[in-house]
Structure 1
Amino acid sequence: MGEAPQVDTPQDRPRESSADILRANFSATVLSGAGTFGRAMRTGAQASKVAVVDVLRVRLQMRETLAQAWFLITVTAIPGVLMAIPFGVIVSAQVGNLVHQLGADSLIGAAGGLGVIKQGAPLATGLLLGGAGAAAIAADLGARTIREEIDALEVMGIDPVQRLVVPRMIAMLIVAPLLNILIIVVGIAAGYIVAIAALGVTPGSYWASFGAFTTSIDVWVSLGKSVIFGYLVVVIGCQRGLEARGGPRGVADGVNAAVILSVVSIALVNVVITQLVTMFFPTRLA
């Protein structure tokens, strides 16, 4: 009689060490992140190309674009005001106390205004758009994806990027600088009130120092930051929404990933832009 075949039991298999498990998980995470970044770049490049062509050929979907822009305004305008007030108050109070100890009260306007314009307003704009805008876009497109509406559009010969992504991208690029301007105005006004009422700064010295150190470049850089942040948010939100899989759970995961990736991307890009602007456009008297 032949020998009985040997059965490979779990005890006979070589056990993976903790280092091997960590290495495998790390490799999978890096590869998944690189793949997500590549797909997001491809989506952004394709949507940008289609948007430029549609604008030049005057075939942009204005109704959908305006509807998306109005929606973004309704979900970010009031939170933007409520976020701008603490930004202005905190910057003016903290910087004002330090400047007061140094005996340079006349510079409170410059420090507070530059803080709001250069960092506070763009970051607040990006975080609001990344929270409300990215979540709404990812949820909308994710729901359409799991209901197979995206597949239906492709079957009918309609490009989903042109039909759904481009109007949201144009709307985001319109709303982002407007929201940034609103936050700048409210933040500077809040800082001005704190400086006058609590720190004893005269209105003339506040606005004189603000005008002496704040240049048009600072404002344009702030607006440029908000546009870049808005672009990142809409690309990430659309990419995560179009790739939603697995029913409602997949939509929820896509929304969560869109918000987290948007916030992290905004923080990293803000550091890079700040360093570049500091190198090429240092603070100087207007």
Structure 2
Amino acid sequence: MPTDLRSAKPDSATRIVRENFTDTVVSSLRTFGRAVDLAQQSVGGSFSDIARRQFQWRETLVQAWRLITVTAIPAILMAIPFGVIVSVQVGNLIHSLGADSMLGATGGLGVIKQGAPIATGFLLGGAGAAAIAADLGARTIREEIDALNTMGINPVHRLVIPRLAAMLLVAPMLNVLIIFVGVLAGYAVAVGGQGVTPGSYWSTFGSFATAGDVWVSLLKALIFGFLVVIISCQRGLEAKGGPRGVADAVNAAVVLSVVSIAIVNLLASQISAMFLPTKLA
């Protein structure tokens, strides 16, 4: 009898591990399905609200200003060292190859195609996602969401859609700000510390950086903003368990947003490299 119990224990442990793994996978798929459903409701609801003239423009502007206040200064502080780092690291490699005049093209393209959208996504996924998830999570545990449903008001139309519109408005603006500051920071380092002439810097930058690169950067920023707002709204609306639940929702929103941005950026970079290779303007 003891021998049978000992032989049964590994099978029982394996079964428990398998069940836990299955439950985790199923729960993740269900969460992903709810996120997709929320995204569909938000996009469709946005067009229907505009068509019926029920879109909450005032709330959208309030949420946009809130996002700007928590991301604008960090964006500038992040863009300056990023532009400097790109200029220094790329400049050392370019200098060793004897092609100092190409620093403007390489540094500028690095900021436009990768630095600016990633920085935008991480800022929105950090400060922006935390603000949205904390706000909606607090409303959820105070039963404000249940009160809206009781009154026949759809929380998606009342709370999610204005935040979605605000995020899609702020994301490209933040991306342009980071591009501007990052390129200027790289220019200052190249001209002031690496001996590159201003004319050659801007000449090579204008020769290789095309309007398509800027549009791809803006599109990536919009996609990242869309992912952030859907994830953070979902986590906030599903918060439970009091203040601890709000904290868990904020942490989950930030982590999931950053991971999603990293994965989507990898895919977007590969696709853009296939269809929009770097070439002379």
Query: TM-score under structure 1 normalisation?
Result: 0.94
| Residue 56 of structure 2: aligned partner | 61
- State the shift of 1:198 in Å: 1.1
Distance in 1 between the 2:6 and 2:242 partners?
Answer: 40
- Structure 1 residue aligned with 2:37, among 28, 38, 42? 42
- Structure 2 residue aligned with 1:213, among 195, 208, 214? 208
- Structure 2 residue aligned with 1:282, among 261, 277, 281? 277
| Residue 106 of structure 1: aligned partner | 101
| Residue 91 of structure 1: aligned partner | 86
Distance in 1 between the 2:236 and 2:39 partners?
Answer: 13
- State the shift of 1:197 in Å: 1.1
- State the shift of 1:30 in Å: 1.6
Letter in 1 for 2:90: V
- State the shift of 1:22 in Å: 3.5
Aligned residues: 276
Distance in 2 between the 1:130 and 1:187 partners?
Answer: 20
Letter in 1 for 2:173: L
Letter in 2 for 1:240: R
- State the shift of 1:23 in Å: 2.7
Distance in 2 between the 1:21 and 1:284 partners?
Answer: 56
- State the shift of 1:35 in Å: 1.2
Letter in 2 for 1:215: T
| Residue 260 of structure 1: aligned partner | 255
| Residue 142 of structure 2: aligned partner | 147
3-state secondary structure, aligned to 1:177: helix
- State the shift of 1:15 in Å: 2.4
Structure 1: state its 5+ residue gaps: 1-10
Backbone CA RMSD of aligned residues = 1.4
- State the shift of 1:25 in Å: 2.9
Letter in 1 for 2:271: L
Distance in 2 between the 1:259 and 1:26 partners?
Answer: 24
Distance in 2 between the 1:58 and 1:276 partners?
Answer: 37
Which structure has the larger Rg over C-alpha atoms? 1
Distance in 2 between the 1:54 and 1:22 partners?
Answer: 47
Structure 2: state its 5+ residue gaps: none
| Residue 237 of structure 1: aligned partner | 232
1:51 aligns with 2:46: yes
In structure 2, relative to structure 1, the CA distance for the partners of 1:13 and 1:98 (3 Å cut) is closer
- State the shift of 1:24 in Å: 2.9
Query: Could you give the per-residue CA deviations for residues 111-148 of structure 1, whole angstroms, max 9, x where no partner exists?
Result: 00000000000000000000011111111111111111
1:204 aligns with 2:199: yes
| Residue 73 of structure 2: aligned partner | 78
- State the shift of 1:44 in Å: 0.7
| Residue 5 of structure 1: aligned partner | none
Distance in 1 between the 2:277 and 2:204 partners?
Answer: 17
Distance in 2 between the 1:213 and 1:259 partners?
Answer: 35
| Residue 27 of structure 2: aligned partner | 32
Letter in 1 for 2:232: G
Query: Could you give the per-residue CA deviations for residues 97-119 of structure 1, whole angstroms, max 9, x where no partner exists?
Result: 00000001111000000000000
| Residue 9 of structure 2: aligned partner | 15
3-state secondary structure, aligned to 1:34: helix
1:272 aligns with 2:260: no
Letter in 1 for 2:9: R
Letter in 2 for 1:207: W
Q: Indicate the structure with greater helix content.
A: 2
Letter in 2 for 1:15: K
Distance in 2 between the 1:105 and 1:19 partners?
Answer: 61
Distance in 1 between the 2:223 and 2:47 partners?
Answer: 16
Distance in 2 between the 1:200 and 1:65 partners?
Answer: 47
In structure 2, relative to structure 1, the CA distance for the partners of 1:13 and 1:167 (3 Å cut) is farther
Distance in 1 between the 2:14 and 2:277 partners?
Answer: 47
Query: Could you give the per-residue CA deviations for residues 237-276 of structure 1, whole angstroms, max 9, x where no partner exists?
Result: 0000111111111111111000000000000000111111
Query: Could you give the per-residue CA deviations for residues 215-248 of structure 1, whole angstroms, max 9, x where no partner exists?
Result: 0000000000000000000000000011111111
Task: Give % identity.
Answer: 67
1:159 aligns with 2:154: yes
| Residue 4 of structure 1: aligned partner | none
Query: Could you give the per-residue CA deviations for residues 60-96 of structure 1, whole angstroms, max 9, x where no partner exists?
Result: 1111111100000000000000000111011110001
Query: TM-score under structure 2 normalisation?
Result: 0.95
